[in-house]
Amino acid sequence: MAEEKGRVEIREDRCKGCGLCVGICPSGLLKVSEKLNEMGYHPVEYCGSGCTGCGLCYTLCPEPGCITVYREV
């Protein structure tokens, strides 16, 4: 398992479940949830550990304020 260098927080209430972040995550730590959010979308979830803190998910997300990436120093 990769060393944890970061972590991701996803605001379920803003996520529209487009899945762009899921496809770009090099560690494969994001998945589309089976549950629905209050807008009726399947939001993305952060699952597991081993985040590299690369920020690709944040950069690709079209929904402002949906994804926050924290990098460990």
User: Considering its fold, how many domains does the chain have in total?
Assistant: 1
Q: What is the pLDDT of residue 73?
A: 75
pTM, 2 dp:
0.86
Q: What is the pLDDT of residue 1?
A: 52
4 and 46 in contact (C-beta within 8 Å)? no
Q: Residue 42 CB: number of other CB atoms within 10 A?
A: 17
**Contacts of 26-31 spanning 24+ positions with Cβ under 8 A:** 26/52, 26/54, 26/56, 27/2, 27/51, 27/52, 30/57
In a domain, 11, yes or no: yes
Q: Give me the tens of pLDDT residue by residue for the chain, a chain 73 residues long.
A: 557 789 999 999 999 999 999 999 999 999 999 999 999 999 999 998 889 999 999 999 999 999 999 998 7
CATH of the domain at 12: 3.30.70.20
In a domain, 58, yes or no: yes
70 and 30 in contact (C-beta within 8 Å)? no
